[in-house]
Amino acid sequence: MAMVSGQSHWLPDDEGVALRETTLGHLLSEQARRVPDRPAIIFDEPDADLQVNWTYADLDRHVDQLSKALIAIGVKPADRVAVLSPNRPEWVLFEYALARIGAILVTVNPAFRKLELDYLLTQGRISVLVSVGEFRGFDLAGMLSEMIPDLVSAIDGERKGGDAYLDLRRVIALGRTPIIGALSFADLLKKAATVSDAVLADRAARVTPDDVVQIQYTSGTTGNPKGAMLTHRGTVNNALLATARAGYRETDVMVSAMPFFHTAGCVCNVMGMVAVGGCLVPLSGFDAATMLDLMERYRGTLTNGVPTMYIRLLQDPKFVAGERDISSYRIAYIGGTSIPPSLMVEVKEKMGADPCLIMGMTECSPIITQTVPTDPLEKKVATAGVPLPHTEVRVVDPDTSAIVPTGREGELQIRGYLVMAGYFEMPEKTAETIDPDGWLKSGDLAVLDEGGYLRIVGRIKDMLIRGGENIYPVEIEEALLNHPDIAEAQVVGVPDDEYGEEIFAFVVPRDGRTIDTDAVRAWCRSNMARHKLPRYLAAIEAMPQTANGKVRKVELRQKAADIIKAGTA
């Protein structure tokens, strides 16, 4: 028990596991020596020209080659290299290679458009941009030609100067669609021959656990995105501790479509599998049928996804008809702000996988709390578990910063090895987020019970006040997700003359279902407390999202205002 009696304060418990002082590049080399012949990465999407099957020895060798090539083109320690791509084998190589030579990976959503990429290249002072030329039908190569006019005259992707992006020295192209002026990945690898093993070993030896390994830009739902600087020590230990808590094994095969540009993909999946010496089978994009095909083909034991992905898996026609063999499936890893317990019970009952719920945030490398495997199913699906080892957590009054009693809501704050090094070149924003004692202010409203189990009840900025009563949207969203026809739910507050604010709920139907709003209202009256009942309810096809996949509630509030004005809610 690590809780301070009567207070919402969890003291860091090591659970018998020590933090490791190592780097990501060294961790891969270690596993390549320990289990050289075990499968490490499998891409099996021939239609997308993505087919590799690498053992740990293969992966380590390919990473060494790319590491040398990056040194050859002048990538220096702490240089920021942005990778704009969906999940591909080269993405994994860049993640490890940049870590091995002490450079910094900056992850970029391939759905970014001109304004978003312009901001990241400028604010992040990117030295090298690695990009695919096309993504989901969009001409990224053409966009880059517009943004970097002098790229057309570049030699081997190296710019000779230009007015745009003064820090950007080189562009590298991935995939089949060429980028005019960029250095192809194949030609980049050829440059590895000019760098010796000794030079690479010297670079790798100078990388320390406290060095920044990645910069992950926040979604920017309010204000400009901020680049969270994550360290080797934070991410590697987070992967080691989370996989140990979950009970991962070196014989495990994880099948997942979580994007590498998100910590769920590049830390939980990529680093999580190397942490145990297991095998990762990534998808370039989520498709339920393809994911289940791969689980059958490679005897998948683990998945990592968000609630909507699990809903789609359960609705797969072949699975519903009993024509899928996923008997090897052990653990369903899941994160998200609203995880309906009924969904995870359904995953356990119908798919046989044990649910493992987590709560995390980018700035915390990312996992903060995780369920305990030995707990009863009912307990596992009701909360986000307890803090990982070496993680200190408290819940405080947002106004006074005083720790609140157990069971009372307040702001969740985190301290320990997992907290980011800060926001890149944003000292004021860093100081606003991390106090002088090292506590990171999450902005989440949370409750810790006597056992240290965490429940997120909302965001401080999202809380609405109806008739003087505090209402947390996430509680209503979680309730709505228990309705059999609803796949997604989001709640916002709208102005009201009588109550100050009223509740407006947006819902997205499950595949093949339609939503009868009157029937849903009746269901709400039978299943929710009166003060939480949505005054307004609207069914929409999809939630508006940021480029990083977070729901833009500011757009929902405007949409709600338009609907109310039109009298159609």
CATH number at residue 297: 3.40.50.12780
409 and 491 share one domain = no
* Closest C-alpha among 259, 286, 305 to residue 83: 259
**Is residue 150 assigned to a domain?**
yes
**Is residue 245 assigned to a domain?**
no
What is the pLDDT, as a whole number, of residue 218? Answer: 86
451 and 485 share one domain = no
307 and 336 share one domain = yes
**Is residue 249 assigned to a domain?**
no
- Tokens 């290249």 belong to residue: 121
426 and 492 share one domain = no
Taking phi over 0 as left and psi of -120 to 50 as alpha, with beta for the rest, 422 belongs to left
184 and 165 share one domain = yes
**Is residue 234 assigned to a domain?**
no
Q: Measured between alpha carbons, how far is 422 from 244 in angstroms, rounded to an integer?
A: 27
**Is residue 281 assigned to a domain?**
yes
The angle at the Cα of 462, spanning 458 to 464, to the nearest 5 degrees, equals 100
The angle at the Cα of 376, spanning 372 to 378, to the nearest 5 degrees, equals 105
307 and 326 share one domain = yes
DSSP per-residue string spanning 457-493: EEETTT-EEETTEEE-HHHHHHHHTTSTTEEEEEEEE
CATH number of 493's domain: 3.30.300.30
Burial of residue 280 (number of CB atoms within 10 Å: 0-12, 13-18, 19+): buried
DSSP-based three-state secondary structure for 416: strand
Give the model confidence (pLDDT) of 511-563 as tens digits.
889 999 999 999 998 888 788 899 999 999 999 987 656 788 889 999 999 99
The total of other beta-carbon atoms located within 10 Å of residue 305's CB is 22
Pick the last residue of a domain from 459, 494, 527.
Answer: 459
470 and 439 share one domain = no
Q: Measured between alpha carbons, how far is 394 from 307 in angstroms, rounded to an integer?
A: 27
Task: Read off the pTM.
Answer: 0.88
Name the β-bridge partners of 7: 405
402 and 473 share one domain = no
Give the model confidence (pLDDT) of 329-366 as tens digits.
999 999 876 788 889 999 999 999 999 999 999 999 99
Structure tokens at 287: 């498709």
Burial of residue 484 (number of CB atoms within 10 Å: 0-12, 13-18, 19+): exposed
The total of other beta-carbon atoms located within 10 Å of residue 193's CB is 11
Q: Which residues of the chain fall short of a pLDDT of 70?
A: 1, 219-223, 337, 468, 547-549
329 and 350 share one domain = yes
293 and 361 share one domain = yes
Total structural domains within the chain: 3
446 and 511 share one domain = no
Pick the last residue of a domain from 417, 443, 459.
Answer: 459
471 and 439 share one domain = no
**Is residue 257 assigned to a domain?**
no
Per the CB < 8 A criterion, the answer to whether 388 and 241 are in contact is yes
For 67, how many CA atoms within 13 A lie in the half-sphere containing its CB? Answer: 27
Pick the last residue of a domain from 390, 425, 459.
Answer: 459
Query: Alpha-carbon torsion 442, 263, 366, 105, what sign?
Result: negative
Q: Give whole-number Cα distances, 450 to 401, 408, 416, 474, in Å.
A: 20, 11, 21, 22
- Domain containing residue 529: 464-566
Structure tokens at 444: 């989440």
| 485: phi then psi, degrees, rounded to nearest 5 | -100, -5
Give the model confidence (pLDDT) of 49-58 as tens digits.
999 999 999 9
What is the pLDDT, as a whole number, of residue 499? Answer: 77
Q: Measured between alpha carbons, how far is 77 from 238 in angstroms, rounded to an integer?
A: 23
| 276: phi then psi, degrees, rounded to nearest 5 | -110, -5
